[in-house]
Amino acid sequence: MSSEKSIQEIYKSYVATGSVKKFMNDIKAQGIQENDPRLSQIAELTKEREQKEKKVDYENFARRSTPCCGLMKKFSERQFVIPNFEKFTKTIEDLYWRIKPNTTGKNAAYIPQLASIPDYWGISICTVDGQRFQIGDTGNGFSIQSCCKPLNYAIACEYLTSDVVHKFIGQEPSGRMFNEMVLDHNNQPHNPMINSGAIATASLIYTLIDGDQRRSMADKFDMVKTWMERAGGNERFGFNNSIYLSEKEVADRNFALGYFMKENKVFPEKTNMLESLDFYFQLCSIETSAETFSVVASTFANGGVCPLTDEKIFSVDTCRDVLSLMHSCGLYDYSGQFSFNVGLPAKSGVSGVIMLVIPNLAGIVCYSPKLDQHGNSVRGIQFCEELLKTYAIHPYDNLRHTLARRSIYEDK
């Protein structure tokens, strides 16, 4: 069916019979939120109609549907990537409640401000079609911490190309603590997902994006934050100043790493190591919520195109590189075990966030500050592993010869 035909069908079955609102309710049942930017013009129409009781003619409806014709087509053909969204979200809800009583683990205490954060628990999902679901404490702000690493790496690759970035940083799991003072056999950080690699990535963005360094630190911070916001469908990103100050105050290890890397000539020429380090602390202190961050995760799942705005944020190659490194190095010293159990790219941060990407399907963000001995959110890891026991989404699952788990795509 062409998009035009879909819009005609929707007009016939909803609008002509007087109910734009019913259309909004039905599309919402499939996971498309009322505040979805793609639907903004239709949502306006609903409001206008409520206020003025005006009849909506086809031309008006078609005009307002044009910016979201792809969405309209998928809706009318029942072609969303998760076809039975209600059943899927019921499964997620069950998992949420099953995991909630698990209060084991401890908040990260080495950044003092993180130690006192309450025992939040939330799960947010955004599919590559922009179907969204939230349960629990998904609107609470958290500092993204290590979850800035894949984003910074992606931004550096977009600006400088992956080849340039990897002249300075490797691609191997280090098999050591995330903040360990160790370099690989080339005297470079093992990968961009651990502290040494992330500090080097911050220095690349900070030093190389404008060789003459005319842009101020404020401009560079805004540039990265704006990029994150675009990846998150232009939703809210802030900055947590107390986390930033707290981290900076106790950052002996990261300062030591900075000097160690400087001594080993890891940084590009003309790097101001201390400023780059400060820039890294700032990026770790960017604040968002699970709701918004799940949109970022879905942008990675969607080959770099934000599902809510259809804007191309990262190239397909950048996404593939980011996801490969998240897959092998995203979860500290649990990365190998996680890749064995779950097989999907994920990144965690010491604030208790885990961003899970199911390529071509969805981004999922779990937030729960209590961490296990590896520094990963206890409930977040449990969720990912239980999800895999429910749905056959491990890349090496075989759907033809298994009855044990369901296919997420055919969950009718």
Site of interaction with ligand GLU (CB under 6 A): 145-146, 178-179, 195, 247, 254, 284, 349-350
Q: Among residues 80 and 206, whose Cβ is nearest to ligand GLU? A: 206
Closest CA to 130 of 71, 44, 69: 71
Q: Give the side-chain half-sphere CA count within 13 A for 113.
A: 16
Which tokens sit at 383?
């969720």
CA–CA distance, 174 with 33 (Å, rounded to integer): 41
User: With respect to ligand GLU, which residue has the nearer C-beta, 43 or 114?
Assistant: 114
CB of 288 to ligand GLU, least distance (A): 14
* Inter-CA distances, 75 with 32, 69, 129, Å: 10, 10, 10
Q: How far is the CB of 179 from ligand GLU (least distance, A)?
A: 6
Note the maximum CA span of the chain. 73
Q: How far is the CB of 375 from ligand GLU (least distance, A)?
A: 6
Closer to ligand GLU by Cβ: residue 76 or 179: 179
What gap in Å lies between CA 368 and CA 103, rounded to an integer?
Answer: 10
Minimum CB separation of residue 156 from ligand GLU in Å reads 17
- Shortest gap between Cβ of 336 and ligand GLU (angstroms)? 17
**Joined tokens for residue 347:** 């990144």
Sheet with 132-136, edge to edge strand ranges:
132-136, 122-127, 362-367, 353-358, 346-349
- Which residue's CB is nearer to ligand GLU, number 31 or number 330? 330
**DSSP codes, 8-39:** HHHIIIIITTT-HHHHHHHHHHTT--TT-GGG
Residue nearest to ligand GLU (CB): 146
**Closer to ligand GLU at the Cβ: 29 or 250?**
250
- Please enumerate in sequence order all residues whose Cβ is within 8 A of that of 399, keeping only pairs 6 or more positions apart, or say none: 392, 407
Q: How far is the CB of 76 from ligand GLU (least distance, A)?
A: 43
Nearer Cβ to ligand GLU (124/145)? 145
Alpha helices in 53-144 (DSSP H): 58-65, 69-76, 85-99, 112-115
Task: Compare residues 354 and 357 and give the one whose CB is closer to ligand GLU.
Answer: 354
Phi and psi of 13, rounded to 5°? -80, -20
Nearer to ligand GLU, 228 or 305 (CB): 228
Q: How far is the CB of 231 from ligand GLU (least distance, A)?
A: 19
User: Measured from the CB of residue 123, what is the shortest distance to ligand GLU in angstroms?
Assistant: 19
